[in-house]
Structure 1
Amino acid sequence: MTTTLIRPVSKAAPPITRKPANRVSRWQIYLPLGLYLLFTLVPFYWMVVFAFRPRGSNSLLPWPVTLENFEHVWTGMGFSVFFQNSLLVGVASLVSTTVIALAGGYALARYDFRGRQAFLIGMLCTQFIPGAMMLIPLFEIFRTLGLVNSLWALVIAETVFQLPLSLILISGFVKNIPIELEQAAWVDGCSRLRGFFAVVLPMLRPALVAVGSFAFIHSWNNFLFALMFVNEQDKFTLPVGLAFTIGEFSADFGALAAGGVVAAVPVVLVFAVIQRYLVQGLSAGAVKG
């Protein structure tokens, strides 16, 4: 007689049901972004329309395309000189700000000296002071130095106002570079200066691009300093030149739009070239401080 073992039948566990995640539809993303993009690009569209369409035309499209407005502002209104002045001030401000911020930011990150925190707090506090409040003191300083009506006055003013943020950015970026890399270079026989150029400086490329681009763009777009410290037309920069296209009772919209395109193209090109370095430099420099 055989006995059969009856095993209890195990019930299969019920399938785990997960609640569907709250997915965001594409419309919830693209619609706000599209509205924001439309709101941002409409002024640029009208600038391009007024710049390229013939004078007296009321067309909503720049057709037929003409370059007479650009010829008028570039040769007739002296925008070629304004462009050169803005380029000189922008490049000089970029170089001076980057070099000084590089030296100061490295010192703040690597050396521990008395008053370091107070110095950093002072640098941060200067960012709350509007530039308009410093016009009279700066004008008196430049008048004493004989720099009024000189482009170097704009370079000095721009460098001074860009240095605090640039110092903080580069200091935070240097802190993210391990000191052991420099110490290894010192062990191999490098001096501190040579180790800095061989190890630290190549890793600071994103920070230098971020600092330099901000310095250039701020000096390129600055209107207040250029208006107050320069009073001869052959030393005007582009923002001041654009202001003089608007008269007391009328405005030359074609010339104003063409000058705006001339002033905007270099900034757009700079951002298009360095935007990947800019994001990396800002994010890395903001981790430590």
Structure 2
Amino acid sequence: MSTVTPTRPAARPAPDRPPPARPNRAIRVSKWQIYVPLGLYLLFTLVPFYWMLVFAVRPRGSTSLLPWPVSLENFETVWNGLGFGVFFANSLKVGAAALVSTTVIALAGGYALARYRFRGRTAFMVAMLCTQFIPGAMMLIPLFEVFRTLELVNSLWSLVIAETVFQLPLSLILISGFIRNVPVELEEAAWVDGCSRLRGFLVVVLPMLRPGLVAVGSFAFIHSWNNFLFALMFVSEQEKYTIPVGLAFTLGEFSVDFGALAAGGVVAAVPVVLVFAIVQRYLVQGLSAGAVKG
């Protein structure tokens, strides 16, 4: 009797395996390739501010490269002698009013552009963008005639209106882009719970717009704080001058008081530096979110 030996099934060929991937070689960058360019850029940026500070705090007639001994004589001259206290208060009023008006109008207009679909919406957005190509100097005569008709010449309100008009187009675009990134379903849920459209916007949407509002408001304040042309053309009384126009008083016909000019520059720069130091964490987020099309 013959025995049958069972045969083993043929082994399946092993599938072809791809060769192991080679690890990506990280690009090694020396720290000198990072810190040297950054250091040169920082040096190029900060040297003018250093010289301004040196001229502001060193005694008159001194030629020292270091601000020592420190003297506040130049600050006393510009603050009390040239009336920089009044100029500072005027700039603060104009900047605060321009910040509030620009933010409120941009918020209302941006919500309409983001949530409603109406005829001419695209044309309106294009028109807003086109206004950014018009230099402010070209609008001085038309604005002056408008303010003269409204009896606003030599008034701080003329500066507030002019600053709001020129800051509004960019602010509208930023705020509308930021509102598009807020899901409309959140508002609809608030409406279902009984909120009106206004209350739903104030409770749900507005808290999420903080970075965009900070970006818009800070740029409106800083632009109105630094603007020289409007304050020079629309205001003629010294009691209503702002800081940029007040700095012109340190420039004489035949001489320049560099110490007073530098001290005035320090006074003008401190609020701007403080604003950026406080809101800098919101600026990048607000600008990037407002620039994205939803």
TM-score range relative to shorter protein: over 0.9
> Which stretch of structure 1 is more off in the superposition, 25-34 or 97-106?
25-34
Give distance in 1, aligned partners of 2:159 and 2:222.
Answer: 14
Match of 1:276 in 2: 281
Q: Which runs of 5+ in 1 are unaligned?
A: 1-13
Out of 278, 281, 292, the position equivalent to 1:287 is 292
Match of 1:161 in 2: 166
Tell me the secondary structure at the aligned position of residue 250 of structure 2: coil
Match of 1:194 in 2: 199
Rg comparison, structure with higher value: 2
Match of 2:233 in 1: 228
Match of 1:60 in 2: 65
- Listed one character per residue, the Cα deviations across residues 69-88 of structure 1 (whole Å, up to 9, x for unaligned) are 00010000000000000000
Out of 260, 275, 282, the position equivalent to 1:255 is 260
* Structure 1 residues 123 and 19, CA gap change in structure 2 (3 angstroms): closer
Match of 1:170 in 2: 175
1:34-183 correspondence runs (5 A): 34-183=39-188
Instruction: Report the alpha carbon displacement of residue 25 of structure 1 after superposing the two structures with TM.
Output: 1.3
Quick check: 1:209 aligned with 2:214?
A: yes
Instruction: Report the alpha carbon displacement of residue 17 of structure 1 after superposing the two structures with TM.
Output: 5.6
- Listed one character per residue, the Cα deviations across residues 200-250 of structure 1 (whole Å, up to 9, x for unaligned) are 000011110000000000000000000000111111100001122111211
Given that 2:53 and 2:266 are in contact with CA atoms closer than 8 Å, whether structure 1 keeps it comes out as: yes
Instruction: Report the alpha carbon displacement of residue 23 of structure 1 after superposing the two structures with TM.
Output: 1.8
Out of 27, 30, 37, the position equivalent to 1:25 is 30
Give distance in 2, aligned partners of 1:116 and 1:159.
Answer: 21
Structure 1 runs of 4+ aligned residues shifted over 6 Å read none
Match of 2:12 in 1: none
Instruction: Report the alpha carbon displacement of residue 285 of structure 1 after superposing the two structures with TM.
Output: 0.6
Give distance in 2, aligned partners of 1:101 and 1:29.
Answer: 40
Instruction: Report the alpha carbon displacement of residue 174 of structure 1 after superposing the two structures with TM.
Output: 0.2
Match of 1:11 in 2: none
- Listed one character per residue, the Cα deviations across residues 167-202 of structure 1 (whole Å, up to 9, x for unaligned) are 000000000000000000000010101100010000
Instruction: Report the alpha carbon displacement of residue 20 of structure 1 after superposing the two structures with TM.
Output: 3.2
* Structure 1 residues 18 and 180, CA gap change in structure 2 (3 angstroms): closer
Q: Which runs of 5+ in 2 are unaligned?
A: 1-18
Structure 2 counterpart of 1:150, which letter? S
Instruction: Report the alpha carbon displacement of residue 22 of structure 1 after superposing the two structures with TM.
Output: 2.4
Give distance in 2, aligned partners of 1:132 and 1:113.
Answer: 33
Instruction: Report the alpha carbon displacement of residue 125 of structure 1 after superposing the two structures with TM.
Output: 0.1
**Number of residue pairs matched?**
277
* Structure 1 residues 55 and 111, CA gap change in structure 2 (3 angstroms): same
Quick check: 1:184 aligned with 2:178?
A: no
Q: TM-score, normalised by structure 1?
A: 0.94
Instruction: Report the alpha carbon displacement of residue 21 of structure 1 after superposing the two structures with TM.
Output: 2.9
- Listed one character per residue, the Cα deviations across residues 133-180 of structure 1 (whole Å, up to 9, x for unaligned) are 000000000011101111000000000000000000000000000000
Match of 1:267 in 2: 272
* Structure 1 residues 259 and 21, CA gap change in structure 2 (3 angstroms): same
Give distance in 1, aligned partners of 2:73 and 2:234.
Answer: 32
* Structure 1 residues 20 and 93, CA gap change in structure 2 (3 angstroms): same
Identity across matched positions, percent: 84
Give distance in 2, aligned partners of 1:288 and 1:15.
Answer: 41
